[in-house]
Amino acid sequence: MDSRRNFLQKLGLSALAINLAPVTGWAKNKPVISDKPYDGPVLRVAMVGIGTYGNIVARALQASTKAKLVGVVSGTPSKVKDWQTKYGIPDKNVYNYDNFEDIKNNPDIDAIYFTVPNFLHQPYVLRGAKTGKFIISEKPLGRNAKEAQEIVDGCKKAGVKLLVGYRMHFEPKNLEIIAMRNAGDFGKIKYFTGNGGFRIGDPTQWRLDREKAGGGSMMDIGIYAVNGARYMVGEDPIWVTAQEPPKSDPVKFKEGVDETIMFQMGFPSGAVASCLSTYAMNNVDRFLLIGERGYAELNPANGYGPLKGRTNKGDLKAVSPPMQQTIQMDEMAGIFLEGKSPIVPVDGEEAVKDAKIIDAVYEAVKTGKKIPLKLS
């Protein structure tokens, strides 16, 4: 906990500039784009799971300079054909869910990115680790902290590097706020609020299935507030409390599938966070960080589109990218291939901490007690 906090506090605007590649400089909080074409190593990626989010990542890779889509794993041949046509994927780089471990014999693939439903993360990532390729898994890493830790341990045992799809850790406005906090612009941090949610639709989708999702809104949207509180405040929490109001539709939101949860976290410095995760409301997407001398706000805070933000000093200057996942993939390529260190960690240990907090939130809802946390 302390080492993570110290690491973040050592960073300032200069570090922010370095970690905004592919831009090559930062002048007066505005990106400086180089005309020099990128000629370094390129991360060659195979996607596992080509549903809604897999398609978003695939489109983002088209704009990436340091990573490119070269392979696909799917159980739906018709979708695979579409992807091959759209992205120029050769037959030799096409796999299904039964044989994708054969990727270990394919020298044209460097990394495997898993965008499958939550319940498949643990078994599929552990299979992927056996290939010896770099691994990227979407969050949450597992349906609980036990699964997340098993994934981390399995990747370590296989000797493969694991990253988790924390796109907001590379998003320029988030990084600008972190840099300002590190520079002392807000003074001692006192309070954070992180709200996220939307009105969920199709009642038959896997996100509303306890066994497949691991829960409800907390596993899908609440994780943004959990993780955002940690990197915005710059500390790991030491306790959590939580409440769950009555469900509006107990048929749609069955036992173990949370519709709305309010939760609070306390930090070693005395800062507190008050957060909301919901499948029942739109227009709640907001982060607010308050210090003794200033504040920072993102509204919206978690969406795929351009984020908007301001501080007590005015509007945030960092330019939101057309697709956050493009910067994410460029930066992950740098981590894998060049040994770069991100401002905010995106490794498996980071994901295990979030999973432990979510487990504690569910325990707090069930027991009504303040749950102590030990994340390191």
How far apart (Å, rounded) are the C-alpha atoms in residues 129 and 103? 11
Structure confidence at residue 2 (pLDDT): 40
Max Cα separation, the chain?
A: 59
pTM of the model: 0.91
From residue 290, alpha-carbon distances to 124, 188, 257 in Å are 40, 9, 32
DSSP 347: B
pLDDT at 63 (0 to 100) = 96
What amino acid is encoded at 267 in this protein?
F
Cα 285–chain centre separation: 16
Nearest to 47 by CA among 12, 93, 16: 93
Strands laid side by side in the 67-73 sheet: 94-95, 67-73, 43-48, 111-114, 134-137, 162-164
| Percentage, residues of the chain above pLDDT 90 | 89
Q: How many Å apart are CA 357 and CA 265, to the nearest integer?
A: 9
pLDDT at 37: 84
Confidence band (pLDDT; 50, 70, 90) for 170? Answer: very high
d(CA 136, CA 266): 30
Q: What is the mean pLDDT of residues 253-277?
A: 98
* Residues 6 or more apart in contact with residue 144 via CB below 8 angstroms: 214, 355, 358, 359
**Quick one: angle between helices 172-182 and 2-9, nearest 10?**
90
Is residue 74's pLDDT more than 80? yes
Q: Comparing 220 with 6, which gets the higher pLDDT?
A: 220
2-31+167-372 maps to CATH 3.30.360.10: yes
Above 60 in pLDDT, residue 34?
Answer: no
Only one residue has tokens 């570090």, namely: 15
Which helix (H) or strand (E) is 230 found in, with range? helix 223-233
- % the chain with pLDDT above 70: 91
Among 32-36, 48-52, 140-144, 370-374, the range scoring the smallest mean pLDDT is 32-36
Query: Which helix (H) or strand (E) segment is 232 a member of?
Result: helix 223-233
How much is the pLDDT for 35? 62
229 CB burial (10 A radius; 0-12, 13-18, 19+): buried
Of 235, 108, 244, residue with least CA distance to 178: 235
CA distances from 121 to 107, 129, 149, 212 (A): 24, 12, 12, 10
- The CATH T-level fold of domain 43-164 is Rossmann fold (3.40.50)
Dist CA 193 CA 200 (whole Å): 22
At residue 18 the predicted structure's pLDDT band, cuts being 50, 70 and 90, is very low
Cα separation, 178 vs 234, in Å, equals: 8
Q: Give the tens place of pLDDT for each residue, 275-320.
A: 999 999 999 999 999 999 999 999 999 999 899 999 999 999 999 8
> 27: phi > 0 → left, psi -120 to 50 → alpha, else beta; which?
beta
* Average pLDDT of the residues of the chain: 92
Q: What is the 3-state secondary structure (H, E, C) of 12-32?
A: CHHHHHHCCCCCCEEECCEEE
Domain locations along the chain: 2-31+167-372, 43-164
Helix runs in 88-171, H state only:
118-129, 145-158
